[in-house]
Structure 1
Amino acid sequence: MSNDIAYPVFHSPDPVLALSMARRLMELGRCEYTNVSLYAELRSVDEVRRGGAKELPEGWFRGQEPYGEFDDRVPFKDRPEWLVGVRGAGLPTDPMAYAGRLPVDYELLNHAVASVEDAFTASIGPSVGEINWQDLFWPDAPEVGFHGESKHAEVTLLLNTSTREYDEPADGHTILVRVRSVNVDGRQMREPYAHWWLAEQVGLTVIGPGQRC
């Protein structure tokens, strides 16, 4: 079993520019199996409505359920359905239904590349989220002594945050290049591959320490 590590290679206050640069990096490893997934924490009713009713209604929305709010004696049919997960059409229309339920988690998995990224970037507003391109295949880099890989080959665009845990809101957007973690005596042996070859191919460079989930 192996893990990945993600290196930040670009940061910008412009979401359109960040998306464009992330796509350039993604294209280095794109193959016939590559797909894209979206995640977000929508922090206002307006953002939930904009995403659910207009921009991305096919995704899954789930409101917060405070720990202990419902015990095992309360059947699922008697709980608000959207706390389990609903499509955009199933979201509450009454603003009061969102009291104590924010942020609303949003998820859309395994869609075709270039089918949802622009709409998501335009609709997320100040909420935090990410676009993740997975099932890439990083190529060999024989000139720097590295073999390619596919298991942990991904590109992530973080929106309005700089960390994979969404715990540091930011006034900008960060691109992460993800590779397999190989730790030898505390040193990450794949960092040079992410730095010298992958990022460099599109004019970028590693700008911070690696991040783990």
Structure 2
Amino acid sequence: MSVDVAYPVFRTGDPALVLRVARQLLAVGDQQHAGVCVDVELLTVEDVLHVRSALPDAWFRREDTEDWVRDPSDPTGLHGGVHAPQLSTDPAFLSAHLPIWASMLDQPVGSVEDKFMAVAGRHVAEICWEGLGWPEVPEPGLYADFKHAEVSVLFNAATRELDKRHDEHTVLVHVRRRNGDGYEERHATWLAEQVGQTVIGLPQLS
């Protein structure tokens, strides 16, 4: 089974600027079948209630390293995910289960990104555009790819695991992982160059 690899191509402390660069990269690819997913870690009850109000279609869940299997019998519902309208607003309940993650999957491109950035940009969060298509580029020998063509923005995080806060925001360009002969970096570099950027760090595997 093929997998992707992601390269950082831009980093800044400005969330609006990082979103702008990511959108420039989107324009390099075919967006006909693309969608966007968002995810944010919420550390306080106030943050959870704010996102619940601002993103009424979001789903809320608890991430427990000990309970990585989603338990359908969990009485809180947070292991399987709770839709915003059904999420309890009781501060005592929410406080007992922090941190809580909020996400939205398979949204139309352009439908949620700005609103999400406004409410989540100061947290550890991610926007990922999936289902793009990178073009074939014969001269440098780059193949078209419609499976692993993605762009993501990491807010306040440096790696895809979102497991450590980093007070900058990073754009990653995703390409198909091949045989390690340098093709992946050449592909990522070419894509970055189309928007005036370049690879600025080590590759990140999924």
Query: What TM-score does the superposition give when structure 2 sets the normalisation length?
Result: 0.91
Contact 2:121–2:155 under 8 Å retained in 1: no
Is the 1:44–1:102 Cα contact (8 Å) retained in structure 2?
Answer: yes
Q: How many residues align?
A: 203
Q: CA deviation at 1:88?
A: 1.5
CA distance in 2 between counterparts of 1:141 and 1:166 reads 32
Higher helix share goes to which structure?
1
Instruction: Give structure 2 stretches of 5+ with no counterpart.
Output: none
Structure 1 CA distance, aligned partners of 2:66 and 2:148?
A: 33
SS in 1 for 2:205: coil
Indicate the residue corresponding to 2:87 in structure 1. Answer: 91
Residues of 1 paired with 2:65 and 2:11: CA distance?
34
Aligned with residue 127 of structure 1, among 123, 126, 151: 123
Partner of 2:167: 171
Classify 1:150/1:48 alpha carbon distance in 2 versus 1 (closer, same or farther; 3 Å).
same
2:187 equivalent in structure 1? 193
State how 1:150-165 maps to structure 2 within 5 Å.
150-165=146-161
Query: Which residue of the partner structure matches residue 57 of structure 1?
Result: 56
Task: Say whether 1:20 aligns with 2:27.
Answer: no
Of 61, 76, 81, which aligns to 1:80?
Answer: 76
Asked which structure has the greater CA Rg, the reply is 1
1:210 maps to amino acid: P
- SS of corresponding position for 1:5: strand
- Over 3 Å counting, the alpha-carbon distance change for 1:91 and 1:145 in structure 2 is same
Corresponding residue for 2:202?
209
The one-letter amino acid paired with 1:165 is: E
For residues 12 and 65 of structure 1, do their structure 2 counterparts lie closer, same or farther at Cα, with a shift above 3 Å needed? closer
Partner secondary structure for residue 9 of structure 2: strand
- What is the CA distance between 1:65 and its match in structure 2? 5.8
Q: 1:106 and 2:99 equivalent? A: no
1:63, CA displacement in angstroms?
3.2
- Asked if 1:116 is matched to 2:96, the reply is no
Report the Cα distance in structure 1 between the residues aligned to 2:65 and 2:153, rounded to whole angstroms.
29
> Root-mean-square deviation (CA), in Å?
1.9
Stretches of structure 1 lacking an aligned partner (at least 5 in a row): none
SS at match of 1:144: coil
Misfit runs of 4+, over 4 Å:
64-68
Q: Which residue of 1 aligns with 2:178?
A: 182
CA deviations on 1:33-92 (whole Å, 9 max, x unpaired) are: 111111122122122111111x21101111356847xxx9xx83x712344321212222
Letter in 2 for 1:201: Q
Q: Matched residues in 2 for 1:15 and 1:156: separation?
A: 13
C-alpha contact 1:5 1:210 (8 A) present in aligned 2 = yes
1:208 deviates by 0.1
State the secondary structure of the residue aligned to 1:137: coil
Identical positions, percent = 44
State the alpha-carbon separation in 2 of the partners of residues 142 and 135 from structure 1. Answer: 22
